[in-house]
Amino acid sequence: MRRAKIADAAPTPEQASIERSERGRIEGCLGALEPDKADCVRGAYLDGFSYEELALRHKVPLNTMRTWLRRSLIKLRECLSA
């Protein structure tokens, strides 16, 4: 019964247009991160690097890379929704 009331997750036209207009924001937010952390985010998204590969490239332990990247993602998320 409750299930029928759950809203469609697809964006409404209004949402879609807002999202489009705010697309450019990520560049600014990545710029607000430390350069090598921003590099990690780009590397993960654009080059498909895994945590292991990123750790290897930046010469840090795997767990350090995980912590770095997760913190960066939280910062990025805050910036994106600000």
Select 34 or 74, whichever has its Cβ closest to other proteins: 74
Q: Is 33 in the site for other proteins (CB under 8 A)?
A: no
Q: Is 9 in the site for other proteins (CB under 8 A)?
A: yes
Q: Name the helix (H) or strand (E) containing 61.
A: none
Q: Which residues bind other proteins (CB under 8 A)?
A: 6-7, 9, 11, 19-20, 22-27, 29, 41-42, 44-46, 48, 50-51, 69-70, 73-74, 76-77, 80-81
